[in-house]
Amino acid sequence: MRARRITATAFLGTLWVAGLAGPTAAQQLLTPDDLLADEWPEPAAVIPYGPDPLQFGHLRLPAGEGPHPVVLFIHGGCYLSVFDIRHAAAAEQAFAEAGYAVWSVEYRRVGDAGGGWPDTFLDIAAGVDFVRDLNGRTLGDGTAVRLDLDRVYAIGHSAGANMALWAAARPRIDPASEVHTEDPLPIRGVLALAPAATLARFHEIEVCGGVIDALMGGSPSEVPERYDAVSPMRLMPEGVPQELVVGALDRSWGPAGRAYYEAAMADGRAPVTFVDAPESGHFEMIAPWSSTWPLVIEALERLSAR
């Protein structure tokens, strides 16, 4: 299947803001369009987890009968509707080929009907918890879905990495919050790829055209309880091992990942490992053909071995 190309590269050029200089052209780092340029196998199934057209996920299965460990993947893209699940196809397939059942979640984003607070986060919560409903299903071709629900690893890229961290931190959400849900799916470990984890800072510098205000429905001073409920810098997973992979050449988003690592180490709620990917910008870590991909797989294997 050839993924439909979008003009993400042109759009991306409008997102860099003062104080977040992007990489130079001479470095020839990957762009979102590079991730859509080749053909990838179709998922084993595309399954809705809710009634909205954007409430669905891609299910990819490894070889064998299982039960399989699960990669719960959440794509990024500035929380904006222009970036969708299609640019994650290569990473989805590669994780499946590495021996994991992959449930990759689409969700409503800023620019979509219903996107923003609280539904973007409620979509992620519903998509995460839907893993329980996948287990034991029989697909249309007769394939039985057998998942190891004790080995669910949340992986996300960029804004999706924030969501992966949040998925693991959901037990800590104040029950009074609009995004609190009962009995969240336990997460065994988090692999955060280029986490854009400083929501308050990104609000201040109006990153991605001021998307944080649109996502949260206000500033940190106006709706502090919302930031408390979802921002990785304010709500960190407790007791859940985390691997952070940050591109050494990612001058735009790399500082946010490093800031999260320092804060998580100081917080001390969970073991955190930082991987500085020397040849990576922002997108190399979700490109299986890149020199960064082995670092991603090694980080996942460390989580799996715990």
What pLDDT, on a 0 to 100 scale, did the predictor assign at position 32?
A: 86
- How far CA 275 is from CA of 165, 291, 295, 297, in Å, comes to 16, 14, 8, 12
Report if residue 1 sits inside a domain.
no
Tens-binned pLDDT, residue by residue, of the chain (306 aa): 223 233 343 334 334 333 344 444 445 899 888 888 778 899 999 999 999 999 999 999 999 999 999 999 999 999 999 999 999 999 999 999 999 999 999 999 999 999 999 999 999 999 999 999 999 999 999 999 999 999 999 999 999 999 999 999 999 999 999 999 999 999 999 999 999 888 999 999 999 999 999 999 999 999 999 999 999 999 999 999 999 999 999 998 999 999 999 999 999 999 999 999 999 999 999 999 999 999 999 999 999 998
Helix pair angle (159-169, 119-129), 10° resolution: 60
Tokens of 66: 């299982």
Report if residue 170 sits inside a domain.
yes
Dist CA 260 CA 267 (whole Å) = 10
Report if residue 55 sits inside a domain.
yes
Pairing of β 101-105 and β 56-60: antiparallel
**Domain span holding position 282:** 8-304
Report if residue 54 sits inside a domain.
yes
What is the widest separation between alpha-carbon atoms in the chain?
A: 53
Nearest to 281 by CA among 66, 21, 101: 21
Concatenating the DSSP letter of every residue in 61-99 gives --SSS-PEEEEEEE--STTBTTS-GGGGHHHHHHHHHTT
Concatenating the DSSP letter of every residue in 177-214 gives STT--SSPPP-SEEEEES----HHHHHHTTHHHHHHHH
Q: Which helix (H) or strand (E) holds 273?
A: strand 272-277
Task: Kindly report the CATH number assigned to the domain that includes residue 168.
Answer: 3.40.50.1820
Report if residue 199 sits inside a domain.
yes
Dist CA 170 CA 122 (whole Å) = 11
- Quote the number of domains for the chain: 1
Dist CA 56 CA 13 (whole Å) = 29
What pLDDT, on a 0 to 100 scale, did the predictor assign at position 78?
A: 94
Alpha carbon of residue 289 to chain centroid: 19
What pLDDT, on a 0 to 100 scale, did the predictor assign at position 18?
A: 30
What pLDDT, on a 0 to 100 scale, did the predictor assign at position 268?
A: 95
Q: Give phi and psi for 46, each to the nearest 5.
A: -110, 115
The residue assigned the tokens 């394939």 is 143
Report if residue 228 sits inside a domain.
yes
Tokens of 82: 């222009």
